[in-house]
Structure 1
Amino acid sequence: MTLKRTDIFDLKATALASDELLPGDETTDLAGYDGDQYDREDRAALRRVAGLSTELEDVTEVEYRQLRLERVVLAAVWTEGTAEDADNSMRELAALAETAGSTVLAGLVQRRAKPDTGTYLGSGKALELRDIVIAEGADTVICDTELTPSQRRALEDVVKVKVIDRTALILDIFAQHAKSKEGKAQVELAQLQYLLPRLRGWGESMSRQAGGQAAGGQGMGSRGPGETKIELDRRRINIRMAKLRREIKEMKTSRDTRRLARKANEVPSVAIAGYTNAGKSSLLNRLTGAGVLVENQLFATLDPTVRRAETEDGRLYTLADTVGFVRQLPTQLVEAFRSTLEEVADADLLLHVVDGSHPDPEGQISAVRAVLADVDAASVREVIVVNKADAADPEVLDRIRRHEKHSIVVSARTGEGIAELRALVAEELPRPTIDVEVLVPYERGDLVSRLHQEAEILSSEHTGSGTLLKARVHADLASELAAYAA
């Protein structure tokens, strides 16, 4: 007997209703089968992440916080990876929230295949989140991924407190830490790019249009200029964004001029990049004595710092400290800080600093490389510098060294491995390639000085008519020395 498709569905439905097995389905319990989905317990649970609370036990600690402490609850949807990955992401979000000036009360993770298009967590879990917000006395909910404008509004309508996402949180931290004129302009541009699609009207109070009585307006004398308030706001934002882009472009010209001057003098450049709070500024201070601000917090450095350094054999090079990266770095920030990140793309060598004591250093490396690819810096020669060796697990350090062949382990705090790092930088920097032998008159001491600064001196001898030098130089300097060839 041949069964039609409808007959097969009827048999399955009957089997499900009676908890019986179909022929050939001896190993399949259809009554308990729910398709290729997550376990019911996972889907039904809104799991709390332990150890996130930063609530102060001693009220006197408040004076050490620079901002008013908001009371926040964190929420995330776990769609892929392990539970440990989800917890690490929540701990990072807690660190971001604390850096922005808040007290983390609780962290909640919901297991779903993808975020709910309506309320991010789902309507039922959003109600559970509202109960937790009320119980904890929170005034803000922070979600771990970027929310669409409709998701944010729908979730706010349920929990009845302010809701922000990871992108808004990072933008807020950048706004607090920007000090230079260019840094402030870049952050403002990124904030406006984020705000533009999220402008929200509030009914009649936002309206500047009115028709006659039949159109629902207020009649004569109430006709506005023809634009709603929200349209005026959008236009003002677009005008402001255009002005900021012009200002940033003008500032970029100044930095490009300095960079071209260094390249004209054949001064190699080294860029320090890496995850936020990996110890980049501490490493810069160790290598150059720059005295750059060092704080144990995320995004302490936003403005790039360029310092002069020297190898053991006397060759000059520049060392640039850059803004830190983070997982899911907002695209608005990458675009706004593109001119700053060009320091990395134009470098001869990249020191990729990794926090060896972090729970997921490999995740940090992947996140940084993703941003470097966005700014066309993926082709720069890279050295993985595993920092904080004094606080890291030796097994983790060994694992990174096995996976990253071109790596070195250091501690900027104790000085461990710094001498080896200096030697590695000197070895990796581009060297002069043209051999010359010149007799430089004594009145051209400026050329001798340049040779000592920019070239690799092989031998030097003082004669009656001048200084006899054998050196390895760059092409530009070789052309200037051609008249003094011995």
Structure 2
Amino acid sequence: MIEVTKKTVERAMLIALDTKEFSKETVEEHIEELEELAATAGAETIFKIIQTKRGIDPAFYIGKGKAEELAQLIELNEINIVIFDDDLTPVQVRNLEKLFNRKVIDRSGLILDIFASRAKTKEAKTQVELAQLQYMLPRLTRAWTHLSKQYGGIGTKGPGETQIETDRRLIRTRISLLKNKLEKIEAHRMTQSSGRKGFLRIAIAGYTNAGKSTLFNLLTEANVFAENKLFATLDSTTRSLDIDDTHKILISDTVGFIRKLPAHLIASFKSTLNEVRDADIILHVIDISHPYFEDHIKVVDETLKEFGSAEKRVIKVFNKVDIVSDKSLIDFVKNVYKESVIISASRGINISSLKTMLKNILNENIVEEKIELPLTATKKASQIHEFAEVLKTEYDDNKIQIIYRTSRQNSEKIKKIIAY
């Protein structure tokens, strides 16, 4: 993946389609978020267009007539890039680029571009490159190659500049190599996590820019990059939090979610997002000051469901209370969301309540057990280390005594191993 360090501001036109599937307010909120994404990528939005239409036009998405009308507007206002709020088919991209004579990308392409510019570690770069190549593969066209060379900028970072002229066979080979690389990374991550079985594991998840990294830094005194922008950080980071003199909690910060998150990106970031899958508890951080925070909650809940984490215990952490002007909103949240806490991570408001909640969960979920095994049961004794933190092991003439600490769930697994 090639990193582009020189940043030029591109003049963008944003286009969304209103098919009456959503309310007008929702469609407007979607395109406002697209504007924020465009700004994060380095574009200045000149026009936001919402086209009302019964259905999607298979050739031009918004219809040929509307596209021809916008082509004149694009030319007159020196628009560099046209960004659509939904995914476009290769045919639609080809037709629109030919008509507009400008770069045309969709929301997925824009998000991938942002991820390409934010990826810092080898793992993140590998994940982004894999997602980019999978996104690019069905979109290989002579026209796209011409435009990427001519215009550069947003939508052409990473493999787009070096791989677009190669044939599909070479790209598939590269995809295979990247998948193998990520499998090795995931195996290494699983080896690292095997030593954490005795701890309560918490993952911080939430909509992008909800304040996850700020909360993580506050709780753990870490120095994870936090910025008031979408997708400020891509890599998961795990730190310990001392709840009392004898117990620790392991907390992981994870990449933020967003509506219409590209499927390729979710698949590529599987190893990073496994921190969510493997957690005992999920802290779902929500920006309570955002006018559409309930919509954000639904997006995150649906994404967690995709990872098989829907049944996990989730604590909703409503952040940024310090900038909420409507105090009735706080009463609403308290009444509707029972297992929740309202905080400000940036100002440290009500963090003690969150820590108390975590301590109570620790007391509920972490147990210390003492078991006895015959001396011949060395395999079972070894398996206990996979599911628990072994505190003490003693041997006498005919038995092994083991004292371990682990979650209640893992303790049940250990008891089944012993009974088998």
Query: Per the shorter chain, which TM-score range?
Result: 0.7 to 0.9
User: Unaligned 5+ residue runs, structure 1?
Assistant: 1-64, 206-228, 437-453, 457-470, 478-486
Which of 57, 69, 76 does residue 9 from structure 2 map onto? 69
Answer yes or no: is 1:88 the counterpart of 2:37: no
Mapped partners of 1:414, 1:354: distance in 2: 16
Answer yes or no: is 1:418 the counterpart of 2:348: no
Larger RCO (alpha carbons 8 Å, 6+ apart): 2
Q: Which residue of 2 aligns with 1:375?
A: 307
Answer yes or no: is 1:255 the counterpart of 2:189: yes
Q: Which residue of 2 aligns with 1:100?
A: 41
Q: Aligned letter for 2:187?
A: T
Structure exhibiting the larger radius of gyration computed from Cα positions: 1
Matches within 5 A, 1:94-243: 94-201=35-142, 233-243=167-177
Q: Return closer, same or farther for 1:202/1:277 CA change in 2, 3 Å cut-off.
A: closer
Q: Which residue of 1 aligns with 2:320?
A: 388
Question: Any conservation in 2 of the 1:67–1:101 contact (CA below 8 Å)?
Answer: yes
Question: Any conservation in 2 of the 1:315–1:455 contact (CA below 8 Å)?
Answer: no
Mapped partners of 2:390, 2:169: distance in 1: 56
Answer yes or no: is 1:340 the counterpart of 2:272: yes
Answer yes or no: is 1:280 the counterpart of 2:212: yes
Mapped partners of 1:196, 1:435: distance in 2: 53
Q: Return closer, same or farther for 1:382/1:141 CA change in 2, 3 Å cut-off.
A: same
1:113 is displaced (CA, Å) by 2.5
Which of 320, 330, 333 does residue 397 from structure 1 map onto? 330
Cα RMSD of the aligned pairs, angstroms, is 2.7
Mapped partners of 1:405, 1:355: distance in 2: 17
1:134 is displaced (CA, Å) by 2.3
Mapped partners of 1:140, 1:231: distance in 2: 21
Question: Any conservation in 2 of the 1:308–1:319 contact (CA below 8 Å)?
Answer: yes
Instruction: Please identify, of 321-330 and 229-238, the stretch whose mean Cα deviation from structure 2 is larger.
Output: 229-238
Question: Any conservation in 2 of the 1:432–1:472 contact (CA below 8 Å)?
Answer: no
Mapped partners of 2:352, 2:404: distance in 1: 25
Q: Which residue of 1 aligns with 2:18?
A: 78
1:389-444 deviations in Å (ceiling 9; x for gaps) = 111233333333333222111100111111101111111235344577xxxxxxxx
SS at match of 1:137: coil
1:160 is displaced (CA, Å) by 2.1
Question: Any conservation in 1 of the 2:200–2:366 contact (CA below 8 Å)?
Answer: no
1:87 is displaced (CA, Å) by 1.2
1:300-348 deviations in Å (ceiling 9; x for gaps) = 1101110111114641111100000000000000000111111101101
Answer yes or no: is 1:359 the counterpart of 2:299: no
Identity in percent:
42
Answer yes or no: is 1:246 the counterpart of 2:186: no
TM-score (norm 2): 0.80
Answer yes or no: is 1:293 the counterpart of 2:234: no
Q: Aligned letter for 2:232?
A: A
SS at match of 1:110: strand
1:66-123 deviations in Å (ceiling 9; x for gaps) = 7211110100002222221111111110010000111111101011232211111111
1:131 is displaced (CA, Å) by 2.4
Mapped partners of 1:455, 1:187: distance in 2: 38
Q: Aligned letter for 1:402?
A: N
TM-score (norm 1): 0.69
Mapped partners of 2:193, 2:404: distance in 1: 24
Question: Any conservation in 2 of the 1:149–1:197 contact (CA below 8 Å)?
Answer: yes
Question: Any conservation in 2 of the 1:183–1:303 contact (CA below 8 Å)?
Answer: yes
Q: Return closer, same or farther for 1:396/1:135 CA change in 2, 3 Å cut-off.
A: farther
Q: Which residue of 1 aligns with 2:361?
A: 428
1:131-186 deviations in Å (ceiling 9; x for gaps) = 22123221100000000111111122222211100000000000000111011000
Matches within 5 A, 1:38-77: 67-77=7-17
User: Unaligned 5+ residue runs, structure 2?
Assistant: 147-162, 371-388, 392-402, 412-420
Q: Which residue of 2 aligns with 1:305?
A: 237
SS at match of 2:321: coil
Corresponding residue pairs, total? 358
Mapped partners of 2:13, 2:244: distance in 1: 52
1:188 is displaced (CA, Å) by 0.3
Question: Any conservation in 2 of the 1:201–1:230 contact (CA below 8 Å)?
Answer: no
Question: Any conservation in 2 of the 1:77–1:121 contact (CA below 8 Å)?
Answer: yes
SS at match of 2:365: coil
SS at match of 2:199: coil
Mapped partners of 1:69, 1:244: distance in 2: 32
Mapped partners of 1:160, 1:410: distance in 2: 49
Instruction: Please identify, of 315-324 and 117-126, the stretch whose mean Cα deviation from structure 2 is larger.
Output: 117-126
1:329-369 deviations in Å (ceiling 9; x for gaps) = 00000000111111101101000011111120011111111
Q: Return closer, same or farther for 1:382/1:313 CA change in 2, 3 Å cut-off.
A: farther
1:214-249 deviations in Å (ceiling 9; x for gaps) = xxxxxxxxxxxxxxx999610100000000011111
Q: Return closer, same or farther for 1:114/1:406 CA change in 2, 3 Å cut-off.
A: farther
Mapped partners of 1:135, 1:312: distance in 2: 65
SS at match of 2:299: helix
Q: Aligned letter for 2:122?
A: K
Mapped partners of 1:424, 1:230: distance in 2: 51
Question: Any conservation in 2 of the 1:252–1:339 contact (CA below 8 Å)?
Answer: yes
Q: Aligned letter for 1:254?
A: H
Q: Aligned letter for 1:399?
A: F
